[in-house]
Structure 1
C-alpha cells in the first residue's frame, strides 16, 4: 500500500507546458504528480498568453521569473540554472506535441506527454530514437492504466484462469459531444480541427485508452491486421470522426473490437474492456473502477473488490486507502506519476535493474497508439478495408 512517503532522495524538479487556468487535464496532471512529493513544480509555460500564464503560475506558487512566455524560453532558461527542471509535462493541444516533445528531449529533460505523441508513426519513431539516444524517459498519460484492478486482470490472465484468449472487446463511448459542443467550448473546438487534432478525433482522443489497457492486460497479444469504419454524425466535423468501429485480428488467432465514440447519447464515460477466454471472461468499467467482474462459465459471477487480500500482490501494491473506499481517476493518475518518477530516478542513477522492473506507458506505448490511429484512418479512408499492422 502507498502511504504518500517520498520514495526518491529528493523530488524531481518539474515544469509544465500548457495546463493553464481552466484546463481540466492540467489540474489532473498537477494533482497526480504532486501527491506523493516525488515531483516539485518549479517552472512552466502555462498558457499561450504570457500574461495569463505568468499570473496562473504565480497562483500555483511558482516564482514569477520561472513562469515563461513559451516552451522555448522555458527550456533555455531552465538549462542555464543549476537548479533547473529535470522533467516536464506537456498538456497542450495534439498538434503541438511532437515539436515540444522533441525540444524537451533535446534539452535533456525527461518528458510526460499527453497522447497522442504526434500524428505519424515516422514522427513517433523519431521521438523514440531521440529518447533512447539521450537516455531519457518519455511517458504517455494513459491515466486509468494506473488503476490496481488492471494489474489484477493482467495477473489472472497470465495465470491462465480465462483459458485461451479469443475475444477482446473495448470501448470508450461517451455522449457529451452528441451535439455541436465545439460551438461553445474552445476545449472541444480544437479536438475537431484537423490542424490541431491531427488525422482523427475519437480514435486518437479516446480510442487509444482502452487499447492501451488491453496491452497491459495482454502483453503478448500482437495485432496482425485491422479494419476501421468511421463516421461524422454532427455536421461540420468531417473529415474527422465522432464515431468509429475498429476490428482487429491478432497473430494468435484472437480478435478484438474497439468502439470509439463521442456521440453515445446518455453515456457518461463508457470506457470498458472485456477479455473473453475459452473458460472465463473478465470485465472492467472505469465508471465502477473498484470492481473487476470475473465470469467463469457455469459458475456464479464474481465481483472482485479493490483493496482486498485475495488479490494479486501487484494489484495491492498501489492501494492508497483501504478496501471499501472508492479509488478512481486521481489515484490511477497518481500511480502513473509515481511510476514515472521512479523510472526517471532509476534512469538518472543508471539503475537498469530497477528501471526494468517498472511498467508504465512509455514511448513504445506512444508509438503503438500513433501507429494504431494511423492504420485505422488508412483503413477507413479506403472504404473500410483490412490493412496490415506492420506494412
Structure 2
C-alpha cells in the first residue's frame, strides 16, 4: 500500500509544456504528479498565449522567471541552470507531440506525453530509438489505467481464473459532442476535430485508445491478427474525422473483440467499460464504479471484488492508497501513473535495469501500440470498412 512515504531520494525537477488555464488535462497531470512528492513543478511553458501562461504559472507557485513563452525557450534557458528541469510533461494538442518530444529528448530530458503519442508508428519508433540512445524514459498518460483494481483483473487472468480468453468487449463513449456547437465555441474541442492538429481520427484517438491500452494491460500476451473499423461522422462538418466508430477484432489465440467509441452517445456520462469473457468465467470493469471488479464464474454466484480489500492479489495492492473504506477515482489513477513513471526515471538514472523491468506503467512501447491501433483502424475504415491484417 502507498501510504505517502518517500520512494525516491529526492523529487524530480519537473516542467510542463501546455496544460495551462484553459486546458482540459493540465490539472489531471498536476494532481497526479504532485501527489507523492516524486516531482516538483519548477518551470513551464503553459500556454500558447504567453502572458496568460506566465500569470497562470505564477499562480501555481512557479518562479516568474521560469514561466517561459514557449517550449523552445524553456529548453534553452533551463539548460543554462544547474538546477534545470529533468523531466517535462507534454500536454499540448496532438500535432505538436513529435517535435516537442524529440526536442526534449535531445536536451536530455525525460518525457511524459499526452496520448496519442504521435501521428504515425514511424514517428513513434523514431522517438523510441532516440530515447534509448539518450538513455531516457518516455511515458504516455492513459488516464484510468493507473486504477489498482485493473491490475487485479490482469492477475486473475494470469492465474487462469476465467479460463481461455474468448471475447474482449470494450466501450468508451460519451454524449458531449452531439452537435457542432462545441467545435466552434470550446477551444479544447475545436482542435480535436481539426485533422491538421488532431491527426487522422477524433474519437478513435481521443477515447478508444485509453480502453485499448487497458485491454493490453490486462491481456499482455494477446495480439490482434486483423480488424475491421466502421466509422461515422454524424456531425457532418467533422468529416473525415469520426465522432462514432465500431471496431471488430480477431486475436491470435482465436478470441474475438469489439470496441465501440463515440462522442455522440447522448446522455452517456461514464461510458468506459471493458469485459473479458473466458471459457469458465468473465471479468468486467466500468469507470463509473472504478473501485469494483465484477467476477462472474460460470455456474457459481457472481462476486464483486472491491479495491483495497485484503483478499486481492499483491499486484493490485501495490498501487493501493486509501484503503477499502474509502473511494478512489481518476486522480489516484493518475497518481499511480506518475509515480510509476517517476520510479522508472529514477531506476533509469541509476542504471537499475532490474527494477525498471518490473515496473508496470504506460511506457514508450505502449505509446507506439496506441498509434499502431489508430493507424490500423483508419486503414480499415478508409478501405470501406474492410478487414485488414494488423500491421
The bucket for the TM-score relative to the shorter chain is over 0.9
Structure 1: distance between partners of 2:103 and 2:191: 23
Structure 2: distance between partners of 1:286 and 1:214: 14
Is the contact made by 1:175 and 1:269 (CA closer than 8 Å) also made in structure 2? no
Structure 1: distance between partners of 2:382 and 2:318: 44
Residue 389 of structure 1 deviates from its aligned partner by 1.3
Residues 37-59 of structure 1, C-alpha deviations (whole Å, 9 max, x = no match): 00000001001111111111111
Is the contact made by 2:168 and 2:277 (CA closer than 8 Å) also made in structure 1? yes
Is the contact made by 2:17 and 2:44 (CA closer than 8 Å) also made in structure 1? yes
Aligned to 1:160: 160
Aligned to 1:203: 204
Is the contact made by 2:295 and 2:303 (CA closer than 8 Å) also made in structure 1? yes
| Residue segments in structure 2 that go unaligned for 5+ positions in a row | none
Asked if residue 57 in structure 1 is aligned to residue 18 in structure 2, the reply is no
Is the contact made by 2:22 and 2:188 (CA closer than 8 Å) also made in structure 1? no
Asked if residue 215 in structure 1 is aligned to residue 216 in structure 2, the reply is yes
Secondary structure in 1 matching 2:56: helix
Aligned to 2:229: 228
Is the contact made by 1:5 and 1:37 (CA closer than 8 Å) also made in structure 2? no
Structure 2: distance between partners of 1:220 and 1:324: 34
Residue 216 of structure 1 deviates from its aligned partner by 0.7
Structure 2: distance between partners of 1:29 and 1:164: 37
Residue 6 of structure 1 deviates from its aligned partner by 2.1
Residues 215-257 of structure 1, C-alpha deviations (whole Å, 9 max, x = no match): 1101100111111000000121101000011111111111111
Aligned to 2:380: 379
Aligned to 1:333: 334
Q: How does 1:1-391 map to 2 (within 5 A)?
A: 1-180=1-180, 181-390=182-391
Secondary structure in 2 matching 1:295: strand
If the length of structure 1 is used for normalisation, what is the TM-score? 0.99
Secondary structure in 2 matching 1:37: coil
State how many pairs are aligned: 390
Is the contact made by 2:166 and 2:277 (CA closer than 8 Å) also made in structure 1? yes
Structure 2: distance between partners of 1:128 and 1:259: 30
Residue 145 of structure 1 deviates from its aligned partner by 0.9
Is the contact made by 2:94 and 2:115 (CA closer than 8 Å) also made in structure 1? yes
Structure 1: distance between partners of 2:141 and 2:313: 24
Residue 66 of structure 1 deviates from its aligned partner by 0.6
Residue 24 of structure 1 deviates from its aligned partner by 2.7
Is the contact made by 1:17 and 1:92 (CA closer than 8 Å) also made in structure 2? yes
Residue 183 of structure 1 deviates from its aligned partner by 2.3
Residue 324 of structure 1 deviates from its aligned partner by 2.7
Residues 303-344 of structure 1, C-alpha deviations (whole Å, 9 max, x = no match): 001110010011112211120311010000000100010000
If the length of structure 2 is used for normalisation, what is the TM-score? 0.99
Q: Kindly report structure 1 stretches of 4+ aligned residues shifted beyond 3 Å.
A: none
Structure 2: distance between partners of 1:323 and 1:24: 30
Secondary structure in 2 matching 1:236: helix
Residues 97-155 of structure 1, C-alpha deviations (whole Å, 9 max, x = no match): 11111111111111000001111111111111111111111000011111111110000
Is the contact made by 2:24 and 2:188 (CA closer than 8 Å) also made in structure 1? no
Is the contact made by 1:210 and 1:271 (CA closer than 8 Å) also made in structure 2? yes
Secondary structure in 2 matching 1:216: helix
Structure 2: distance between partners of 1:269 and 1:193: 25
Structure 2: distance between partners of 1:14 and 1:95: 23
Residue 91 of structure 1 deviates from its aligned partner by 0.3
Q: For structure 1, which segment, 316-325 or 134-143, has the greater mean C-alpha deviation from structure 2 after superposition? A: 316-325
Structure 2: distance between partners of 1:217 and 1:42: 35
Structure 1: distance between partners of 2:175 and 2:5: 39
Secondary structure in 2 matching 1:323: coil
